Chain A
Amino acid sequence: MIRYLARCAAQFAVALVGIVTVAFFLMRAIPGDPALYMLGDFATAEALATLRARLGLDLPVWQQYGVFLLRAAQGDMGVSVVTGQSALAEIWAAVPPSATLAVAGMMIAICFGVPLGIIAAVRQGSAVDLAVMLLALGGISFPVFWLGLVAILTLSHALGIFPALGATSEPGFWKGLHHLALPALVLGLSVAAYIARLTRSAMLEILGQDFIRVARAMGVPERRIVWHLAFRNALIPVLAVIGVTFAWSLGNAILVEAVFSRPGLGSTILKAILSRDYQLVQAGVLVLAAAVVLLNTALDLIYGAIDPRLRRT
């Protein structure tokens, strides 16, 4: 078990260095001079040179990369070109609202997606299966920002149940929850559609295996077959699906935040992109990718806990 833990930790570290490297070279590809942007078109050549030197932009790229890697290891992602604040601090400030949205959305997605996928698989070919699969096809086919607009139009504008704004400055847990409801629901249902489809196919595969047929022949009650035998075996593919959809839902969260004017990583990164604030974009992309890697590492650990065979390989 300790070896398994160590291997997971090592993989996590390697993946982190990898994403830092990719993020670095990706951002260097952005044309335009950040120093020129900061100081404006009328800056003197001297001022530009000083600022470039301060930002380390006058060094050769590989040297910049070395410095960047060393600083990243100490948690220093540079300063925002626009505000002059620490880029990582600015990104961290935007994490709580985004994390709240992502967690609430994932919870809704799992609560709807997994049971619906199981029911559809157990009743394969029935009207229930068809209905669930049609809903799921709709969920993955409509753009999430469009679903957001429809939700505003119906649940907010016509029925007045939820506010159209995804956040409020007023204090209070219930107030915040009330504003969070629509964005979380929209994000959650779009992800639930994916989870339902993939859970269904994972369950169908397990339900078609020999040991299930044997259990049926031995007269094991159907409920026990579904929940005890099939679902426990489908758990790993289902968890894998949740891991895959998490990365995808982070992308969707950017769009959902835009629709509901909700502050968070999405609006911060978007603003940074529009103002060519590459330090900030870099830090934002890194934090999101690191979140994906962290979740995948956590899932690897859970797989090991669920299925002892995986610990040995």
Chain B
Amino acid sequence: MTARTEAEEALEDNAARKRATVRRYLRHPSFMIGAIGIGLLLLVALFAPWISPHSPTRTDLMNTLSQPSATYWLGTDQFGRCVLSRLIHGAQVSLQVGFFVVLISLSAGTLLGAVAGYAGGFVERALVAIIDILLAFPSFLLALALVAARGNTLDSIIIAVAIAYTPRVAAVMRSVVLTIRPRPFIEASRAIGLSTWTIIIRHVIPNALPPVIVVATVSAATAILAEAGLSFLGLGVQPPTPTWGNVIAEGQTAITTNPLISLSAGLCIAFTVIVLNLLGDGLRDTLDPQMRRNTGKLL
């Protein structure tokens, strides 16, 4: 009987800890604002075809560069396309870029960094050298050159930006793994005869993930900025497909008469980047015990 009660107690403890964790997230203003903001953006992107008042590519040549009205809430661009509808559909491109860049750079960077940090010796030195060299290239420039190499479809933009940001994730991952490697449970895993790969995948990576997840959230924000920059330079997803970056670029020609076109697109980008940064801050405070004393403060 005693054994069962102990097991039950352990279970209850566990449940209580989980509740405490959930509460910690819910009480964290940055985390909540970030999570709600991202949730809203996801809804907008998912339901874009249903909530946008017009088609983002339909031209109304009788109403080019019109000011905001009941029909066109944010006015129209030089082709008479509804700016609001273009912004709503633009969310799809930005969020896809953010999501897939994080997915790719997180997986590749985590693996590279974990191997570099855990392996030591020649493998580590070689990988660190490669990571350092890649970090010397301004990442936006690297993405620019890669997009030029692979063409400007959405896929190649995502791959280019992901390659540019992977070394950052790898560098963070390695530094975390270096602190995990000497810990007793790793030695224990080795002692019971687990293979190196099993140790890396089952024990090293899960324990090193929290700081890396924070970096990933923030790099989703930088990826979205990079995509907007590429679009602005005309190297991103090509018009007429709307992206926030190309809406700003197209609005640039009418900046003095219809400033709302470029301004509203910039606000969309900034909103996304801010909520992602708040989410990252919230995750850092709740995931990283050392930072926990700051919990509860916005920014």
Contacts and interface: CB of A to CB of B under 8 A. Distances in A.
A141 to B, nearest CB: 4
| Nearest 8 pairs of A and B residues by beta carbon | A251-B140, A146-B266, A18-B133, A141-B273, A273-B148, A251-B138, A30-B149, A133-B299
Main SS at interface, chain B? helix
Nearest to B281: A137
A152 interface: yes
Interface stretch (B58-66, B177-185, B229-237): B229-237
A254 B148 CA distance: 15
A252 B140 contact: yes
Counting contact residues on chain A (CB < 8 A from B), the size range is: 35 or more
A69 to B, nearest CB: 15
Interface in A88-129: 125
A252 B141 CA distance: 9
Contacts of B256: 153, 157
Most buried by B among A125, A145, A276, A288: A145
Contacts of A21: 133
Nearest to A273: B148
B129 A26 contact: no
29 contacts: A15-B132, A18-B130, A18-B136, A19-B133, A22-B137, A29-B146, A125-B297, A134-B299, A143-B245, A143-B248, A143-B270, A145-B248, A149-B252, A149-B255, A149-B262, A150-B263, A157-B256, A247-B136, A248-B138, A251-B141, A254-B141, A255-B229, A258-B233, A269-B144, A273-B145, A273-B235, A285-B141, A289-B137, A292-B136
Interface in B237-287: 245, 248, 252, 255-256, 259, 262-263, 265-266, 269-270, 273-274, 277
A251 B139 contact: yes
Contacts of B225: 143
Given A141-B273, A254-B141, A31 B136 contact: no
B137 A285 contact: yes
B134 interface: yes
Contact of A289 (B136, B149, B259, B266): B136
Nearest to B269: A143
Contacts of A27: 145, 149
A138 interface: yes
Nearest to B262: A149
Interface string B101-143: 0000000000000000000000000000110111111111110
B156 to A, nearest CB: 11
Interface residues of B, number: 45
Contact of B299 (A137, A149, A250, A285): A137
Given A143-B225, A149-B266, A258 B139 contact: no
A18 B134 CA distance: 9
B137 A19 contact: yes
B277 A141 contact: yes
A137 B30 CA distance: 13
Contact of A273 (B144, B248, B259, B297): B144
B266 A15 contact: no
Interface in A3-22: 14-15, 18-19, 21-22
Contacts of B266: 142-143, 146, 149-150
Interface in A124-164: 125, 130, 133-134, 137-138, 140-146, 149-150, 152-153, 157
Most buried by B among A31, A142, A149, A252: A149
